[in-house]
Amino acid sequence: SDWGARYRRDLTENIMPFWLKHGLDRLHGGVYTCLDRDGTVIDTTKSVWFQGRFGFICAFAYNHVARKP
């Protein structure tokens, strides 16, 4: 099996869609840090570190994995 293809598929079909659907705070901005497996927000506290990390991950994924907005 091709692990690279598997990881790419999991990232583009599961991980990123989940976080973009459930993790964004559309009222106040930013990204929630603590979500349950079903997307329920467990804690509304947002760390500065995670905001930067999520921005980096999105930019990296766009430039190196799949150019999907």
Q: What is the pLDDT along the chain (69 residues), one digit of tens a residue?
A: 699 899 999 999 999 999 999 999 999 999 999 999 999 999 999 999 999 999 999 999 999 998 877
Listed residue (14, 25, 18) closest to 47, CA to CA: 25
Which class for 60: exposed (0-12), middle (13-18), buried (19 or more C-beta within 10 A)?
exposed
Please give the pLDDT value at position 1: 62
Cα separation, 45 vs 13, in Å, equals: 27
* pTM, full prediction: 0.87
The domain locations on the chain are 3-64
